[in-house]
Amino acid sequence: MAISFDLTGKVALVTGANTGIGQAIAVALAGAGADVALAGRSEPAETLDLIAGTGRKALNIRADLSSIEPVGRIVAEVVSGLGRIDILVNNAGIIRRNDLAEFTEEDWDAVIDTNLKSLFFLSQAAARPMAAQGSGKIINIASLLSFQGGIRVPSYAAAKSGVAGVTKAMANELAARGVQVNAIAPGYIATNNTAALQADETRNRQIVERIPTGRWGSPDDIAGAAVFLASAAADYVTGHVLAVDGGWLAR
């Protein structure tokens, strides 16, 4: 049997796709043949143009995932605008940094609500039509901090550890309905969010020295993994957290 990564006829929803990893995933899914809906607070003008360049349809849905209020509307707009939903990529997320002794309830709740609570309830909303049609792919963006504790980011570490756990929990329930649920844990990826680390000569050197491949990852490195997990080639992969980290965790 031929192995296929072709997504022709599929419809994907990607959150937080205006730049970086989310943008790369959205464009790669379109390049593999999917029509793509984008959900987020910011206007993803560049991403919409890049998807248009692949010849696929794009749908922009403005929504603030700091609460679960819009999740039902988002899925309904995808289905009404593009006809169905086959793939969900939960990429939207925030981070707050502070010393443990100074970390506030506000910063705790903001990160947990966006990175974990909204992720679960959007997945729940998308899983309903996926289960009804007997197929679907949910891909959560986890983190190296799904495995490690990090420094000065307790709510982010808690949320991303939760993403790994809820990925497995959802996979267990949805597998019999034809829906696979997996996560990608990016390593150090060169994006706008990591610009300060890249510019810090000492910290940048320390990071690169720790990575066996000897370089920062690119958003396209994550996009390739997402296309695999979204495709029929990964139909027997579920409940897995795939580290795309240049070997960081193996070191």
CB atoms within 10 A of CB 215: 13
Please report, for the chain, how many H helices and E strands are present, in that order. Answer: 9, 7
Q: 181 φ, ψ to 5°?
A: -125, 120
* One-letter-per-residue 3-state SS of 17-47: CCCHHHHHHHHHHHHCCCEEEEEECCCCHHH
Mapped onto helix, strand or coil, the DSSP state of residue 238 is coil
Tokens of 138: 């949910």
CA 68 to CA 90: how far, in whole Å?
Answer: 13
Rounded to 10 degrees, what is the CA torsion of 226, 232, 235, 241?
-10
User: 156 catalytic, yes or no?
Assistant: yes
From residue 166, alpha-carbon distances to 49, 169, 181, 243, 247 in Å are 33, 5, 9, 16, 24
| Catalytic residue (one of 16, 22, 51, 156) | 156
Catalytic residues: 156
